[in-house]
Amino acid sequence: MWLVNCSKKDIDFLFYNKIVHEKRDKEHALQYQSIVDVCFAQYINSGRYWKTKWRDLEIDEFLKKYKRSQKFEEIAKRAVELGKCKLGKLIPTDQTPIEKEENKIPK
């Protein structure tokens, strides 16, 4: 993650100057260098917003959820408005008792 946050100049420097390592650190050094290689090849650095399919999917899912929530809010507003117009009073909510239902509940 720290390598992705490096500037373009830093990524170029790390790409052209390969890591010198001891035998016991070979695995870690190769992992580190492979990330540098990917960052250099894909032009990934802190100064550039890089796009991937993952980010596009994330944006699409966010927009779908946002549009869905907006639709539900509009439907709820219309229902309240229709209740006010047709009944002359608000539609009962969870907190307002309904008299017919109250009589059915055993005491």
Q: Is 97 a member of any domain?
A: no
List pLDDT tens digits, range 52-94: 566 777 788 888 999 999 998 998 888 877 766 665 555 556 6
Q: Is 106 a member of any domain?
A: no
Q: Is 71 a member of any domain?
A: yes
Q: Is 107 a member of any domain?
A: no
Check whether residue 32 and residue 9 sit in a common domain: yes
List pLDDT tens digits, range 87-98: 555 555 666 666
Q: Rounded CA gap, 30 and 22, in Å?
A: 11
Residue whose pair of structure tokens reads 């117009």 in the numeric block: 85
The number of domains in the chain is 2
Helix (H) or strand (E) holding 98: none
List pLDDT tens digits, range 19-55: 888 999 999 999 989 988 988 888 888 777 655 566 7
Residue 38 half-sphere exposure, CB side, CA atoms within 13 Å?
A: 10
Q: Is 99 a member of any domain?
A: no
Check whether residue 46 and residue 62 sit in a common domain: no
Q: Which domain holds residue 69?
A: 53-92
Check whether residue 65 and residue 34 sit in a common domain: no
